[in-house]
């Protein structure tokens, strides 16, 4: 089999080593005579895997001890509602940065559940830029300040973080977690779907500072109350077992390669290859994104016409490059270059971008 070059935005590329390990172990996990996906989530084999996974999360991201870490189901999307249910009391207002599709959806859900102030709306720039973190002023009576660290569809990424003082900072890091070091202690909560940079779809990681749990109102249904999961060590109900297995293997792979700093170096090298191809193309490829906030995970660009966008995507597909069509809501092209994507695949697309532009210009 010749493996495709996988530029999908999510679910997305996984390390070959991880897929092979899953293949090897799927039928008989650790010589136990059954698969880990057939075993009880309360049994010894899963318990070890699960705690190894949480330990790796803590170690690789340097998560301080006073944070709870667990996995939920329902995707990152469920958190759009759970965050205001838990942290937006009726006498308070939360601040949202609307920077593209994902933070806009989060903001829409919060507005259904409480008072929201839109602290920044990228609409007038077609979501191509972010507020300057150095000049952000957060009202100190805010319930929390919410942002999406990397807009997977629009291809913009925060490069540093605003000072929020006493106001809890909450971030959706679905598509850039583990691509760079994160000062976790600046955040009251970080969460995201694992299917972009961390494993097979199914789990949503939640990292939450324990003092936040005291703010949760009573009366929430059990599953929707973060305290339930923190108290039960994330095992209140059946966790997404298969997905967590994959995350654990991906984290072992990240560790072997040198951790999040090594992932950051890889991301800088890989994304630069494509941005250089864009910048050198004399306008054949255009990045719609403010260059100060270019994403190192999702690189969005467009060609001179929608017809050329389509031709680019289909020619690339013939050469084994998948997932280059931009999201249906924005059009154009998008190359997602998550941690597991080999550098050779990025060199391959860079070369293809050059030759395609030369052919058509
Ligand atoms: C994919 C994505 C989501 C939605 O994740 P689901 O797991 O499909 O609910 C939310 N936020 C960001 C930044 C994403 O990339």
d(CA 220, ligand 1 centre) in Å: 24
Which pLDDT value is given to residue 118?
98
| Ligand 1 near 149 CB (within 6 A) | no
Structure tokens given for 151: 């807009």
Which atom of ligand 1 sits closest to the CA of residue 195? 7
Nearest Cα to 251, choosing from 259, 243, 242, 239?
259
Residue 300, beta-bridge partner list = 334
pLDDT tens-digit map of 173-188: 999 999 999 999 999 9
From first CA to last CA, the distance across the chain in angstroms is: 35
Secondary structure (DSSP) of 121-166: EGGGGTT-----GGG----TT-S-EEEESEETTTTEE-SS----TT
- What 3-state class would DSSP assign to 235? coil
**CA pair distance 310, 210, nearest whole angstrom:** 48
pLDDT at 156: 98
In tens, the pLDDT along 241-293 reads 999 999 999 999 999 999 999 999 999 999 999 999 999 999 999 999 999 99
- Nearest-CA residue for ligand 1 atom 10 is 76
Tokens 């949760």 belong to 216
- Residue 275 near ligand 1, beta carbon < 6 Å: no
User: Ligand 1: does its nearest atom lie under 6 Å from the Cβ of 102?
Assistant: yes
C-alpha atoms less than 13 angstroms from C-alpha of 341 in its C-beta half-sphere: 33
The pLDDT assigned to 144 comes to 98
8 A C-beta contact, residue 131 and residue 162: yes
Task: Confirm or reject: Cβ of 147 under 6 Å from ligand 1.
Answer: no
Please give the mean pLDDT across all residues of the chain.
Answer: 97
- Atom in ligand 1 nearest the alpha carbon of residue 74: 9
pLDDT for 299 equals 98
Mean pLDDT for back-to-back runs of 10 residues, the chain (361 residues): 94 98 97 96 95 98 98 98 98 98 98 98 96 95 98 98 97 98 98 98 98 97 98 97 98 98 98 98 97 98 97 98 92 97 98 97 84
Asked if residue 79 has its Cβ within 6 Å of ligand 1, the reply is no
CB of 157 within 6 A of ligand 1: the answer is no
Cα of 8 vs centre of ligand 1, distance in Å, is 13
Q: Computed over its alpha carbons, how large is the radius of gyration of the chain?
A: 21
Q: Which residues pair with 207 in a beta bridge?
A: 69, 190
| CB hemisphere CA count around 153 (13 angstroms) | 14
Token pair in block for residue 22? 């899953």
Q: Is the sign of the CA dihedral 122, 124, 125, 127 positive or negative? A: positive
Closest C-alpha residue for ligand 1 atom 12: 174
Atom 2 in ligand 1: which residue has the minimum CA distance?
A: 174
The model's pLDDT over 6-19, given as tens digits with 9 standing for 90+, comes to 999 999 999 999 99
pLDDT at position 4, please?
A: 98
11 cis-preceded (ω within 30 degrees of 0):
yes
Q: Compute the distance between CA of residue 199 and CA of residue 226 in angstroms, rounded to an integer.
A: 23
What CA–CA distance (Å, rounded) separates 234 from 207? 11
Contact partners, residue 235, CB within 8 Å, separation at least 6: 41, 42, 50
Question: Does any ligand 1 atom lie closer than 6 A to the CB of residue 76?
Answer: yes
For the purposes of burial, counting CB atoms within 10 Å of the CB of 274, is it exposed (0-12), middle (13-18) or buried (19 or more)?
buried
For ligand 1, atom 14: residue with the closest CA: 174
Q: Looking at the annotation, which residues are catalytic?
A: 102, 172, 196
What pLDDT, on the 0 to 100 scale, is given for residue 191?
98
Please choose from 8, 9, 73, 75 the residue to mutate so as to test ligand 1's pocket, defined by most ligand atoms within 8 A of CB.
75
- Ramachandran region, residue 331 (left: φ > 0; alpha: ψ -120 to 50; beta: rest): left
β partners of residue 121? 98
Secondary element (H or E) of residue 93: strand 93-98
The per-residue pLDDT for 197 is 97
**All domains of the chain in start order, with CATH:** 17-256 (3.40.640.10), 259-360 (3.90.1150.10)
Closest CA to 349 of 273, 292, 263, 261: 273
The residues, ordered by sequence, that sit 6+ positions from 257 with a Cβ below 8 Å of its Cβ are 263, 266
How many angstroms is it from 77 CA to the middle of ligand 1?
Answer: 6
Find where tokens 């106001």 sit: 167
């Amino acid at each position: 089999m010749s493996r495709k070059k996988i530029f999908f935005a999510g679910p997305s590329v996984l390390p070959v080593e991880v897929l092979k390990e899953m293949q090897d172990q799927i039928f008989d996990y650790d010589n136990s005579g059954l698969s880990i996906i057939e075993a009880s989530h309360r049994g010894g084999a899963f318990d070890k895997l699960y705690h190894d996974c949480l330990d790796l999360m803590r170690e690789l991201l340097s998560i301080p001890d006073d944070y709870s870490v667990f996995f939920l189901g329902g995707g990152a999307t469920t958190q759009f509602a759970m965050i205001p249910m838990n942290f937006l009391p009726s006498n308070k207002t939360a601040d949202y940065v609307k920077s593209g599709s994902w933070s806009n959806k989060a903001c829409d859900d919060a507005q259904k559940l409480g008072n929201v102030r839109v602290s920044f709306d990228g609409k007038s720039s077609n979501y191509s830029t972010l507020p300057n973190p150095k000049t952000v002023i957060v009202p100190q009576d805010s319930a929390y300040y919410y942002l999406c660290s990397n807009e997977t569809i629009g291809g913009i990424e925060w490069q540093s973080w605003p000072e929020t003082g006493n106001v809890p900072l909450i971030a959706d890091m679905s598509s850039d977690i583990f691509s760079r070091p994160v000062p976790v202690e600046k955040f009251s909560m970080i969460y995201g779907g694992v299917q972009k940079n961390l494993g097979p779809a199914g789990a949503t990681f939640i990292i939450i500072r324990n003092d936040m749990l005291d703010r949760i109102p009573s009366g929430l249904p059990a599953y929707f109350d973060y305290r339930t999961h923190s108290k039960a060590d994330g095992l209140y109900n059946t966790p997404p077992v298969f997905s967590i297995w994959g995350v654990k293997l991906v984290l072992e792979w990240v560790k072997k390669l040198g951790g999040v700093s090594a992932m950051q170096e890889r991301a800088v090298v890989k994304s630069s290859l494509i941005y250089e191809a864009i910048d050198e193309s004399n306008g054949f490829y255009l990045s719609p994104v403010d260059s100060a906030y270019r994403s190192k995970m999702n690189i969005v660009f467009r060609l001179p016409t929608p017809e050329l966008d389509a031709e680019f995507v289909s020619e690339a597909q013939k050469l084994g490059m998948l997932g280059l069509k931009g999201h249906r809501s924005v059009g154009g092209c998008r190359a997602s270059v998550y941690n597991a994507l080999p550098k050779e695949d990025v060199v391959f697309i860079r070369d293809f971008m050059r030759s395609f532009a030369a052919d058509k210009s």
